[in-house]
Amino acid sequence: MSSPLVEVSAISRTYAMRSGMFGRAAAVHAVDGVSLTIARGQTLGLVGESGSGKSTTGRLVLGLEPPDRGAVRFDGKPMTALGTTAWRAQRARMQMIFQDPLGALDRRLPVATQIREPLDIHGIGTPAMRDDRVRELLRAVELTPAHGARYPGALSGGQRQRIVLARALATKPDFLVCDEPVSALDVSIQAQVVNLLCDLQAQLSLTLLFISHDLRVVRQISNVVAVMYLGRIVEIGSADDLFARPEHPYTQALVSASPAPGRRSAGRIVLSGDPPNPAARPAGCAFHPRCPRAIARCASEVPALSAVGGDRQVACHLVTGAATRDAA
Ligand code: SF4
């Protein structure tokens, strides 16, 4: 079996957040001890509510900021320091796609110029080869070379996200971090862009970290799914198995709110309590104020992420192994 492309070992990132001009700074544990492995050619879906630390995890994995603790290895090598020549070479193999395609593009430049930009920055090919590559990329994302002459404002939301995708693919990366890449698009356009991403992944053997709060989309594209809550992974496992049989009470609530196509949403678990606030993480299991199954121990003791059978890991005091799974 080949080695994983991305190995994330216990990364953490804390920010100081001040409330008001004279308020005391509070530590926000945006990411706390997250470990992930992404096999080559696979998609790991990272899900959770807003404030769960998904996007910060994506930025740490991509090396856009360093973790306070822990390490990221890409293709067997540690991430190099930001801004160095070695980092730029590594970075050409790793790209990011953001939620807002209009914000990611320069409205003053034709989109062909923007697709070509990474080739110019990394000095890849002659000018004529770069122009050829731009036409090839436009076709790859199912647009025509004529679209290249347009400005972002003259394209639809779906076309703009295709341009962002074409630009991300310009340097022939191995790894894409997609941060809510379709959540700003209409539902019908979302499906087209996700299908295109799936096709390109298969054609180009891409490895993806796909960040989304939308389980419907994550279910469609992911091989493995990790669920985050207030900076920690609370459950991880094969996508089909996890969606068919979620173990963690938080995952169960998320899955119940996003039924599979053709399945009715009866039995939806509605969570009570406040949505997660990263600046005020509860002690013990951070989910305990909202958890319908919480016991006394949950308020004081952080549950470790532990193997519970198969490739599943769960962080819950009540889910402790194969016996628990079989009894459920
Ligand atoms: Fe709920 Fe306790 Fe499990 Fe946390 S550890 S998910 S509070 S039962």
pLDDT tens per residue, range 259-297: 666 555 557 887 877 777 888 899 999 999 999 999 999
Q: What is the pLDDT of residue 23?
A: 65
User: Would you say 236 and 274 are in contact if contact means Cβ atoms under 8 Å apart?
Assistant: no
Q: Is 285 in the pocket of ligand 1 (CB under 6 A)?
A: yes
* Ligand 1 pocket test target in 250, 318, 324 with most atoms within 8 Å of CB: 318
CA of 282 to the centre of ligand 1 (A): 12
Enter the tokens of residue 269: 């678990």
Enter the tokens of residue 83: 């801004």
Q: What is the pLDDT of residue 21?
A: 62
CA of 245 to the centre of ligand 1 (A): 17
Q: What are phi and psi of 292, to 5 degrees?
A: -70, -10
* Closest to 63 measured CA to CA, from 82, 83, 36, 85: 82
CA of 38 to the centre of ligand 1 (A): 27
Q: Is 40 in the pocket of ligand 1 (CB under 6 A)?
A: no
* Closest to 236 measured CA to CA, from 323, 314, 291: 314
Alpha helices in the chain (DSSP H): 54-62, 85-91, 101-104, 111-121, 127-140, 157-169, 187-204, 215-221, 239-244, 249-256, 322-327
What are the domain boundaries of the chain? Answer: 4-93+173-327, 101-172
pLDDT tens per residue, range 135-150: 999 999 999 999 999 9
Q: What is the pLDDT of residue 328?
A: 46
User: Would you say 98 and 108 are in contact if contact means Cβ atoms under 8 Å apart?
Assistant: no
Q: What is the pLDDT of residue 180?
A: 92
* Ligand 1 pocket test target in 232, 285, 300, 314 with most atoms within 8 Å of CB: 285
For residue 228, is pLDDT > 90? yes
Q: Is 130 in the pocket of ligand 1 (CB under 6 A)?
A: no
For residue 34, is pLDDT > 90? yes
4-93+173-327 is classed CATH 3.40.50.300: yes
Atom of ligand 1 nearest to the CA of 298: 2
Contacts of 205 (CB under 8 A, 6+ apart): 40, 41, 174
Q: CA angle 308-10-1, nearest 5°?
A: 65
pTM score: 0.91
pLDDT tens per residue, range 81-115: 777 788 778 888 999 998 888 889 999 999 999 99
Q: What are phi and psi of 68, to 5 degrees?
A: -70, -40
pLDDT tens per residue, range 54-64: 999 999 999 88
pLDDT tens per residue, range 185-206: 888 889 889 999 999 999 999 9
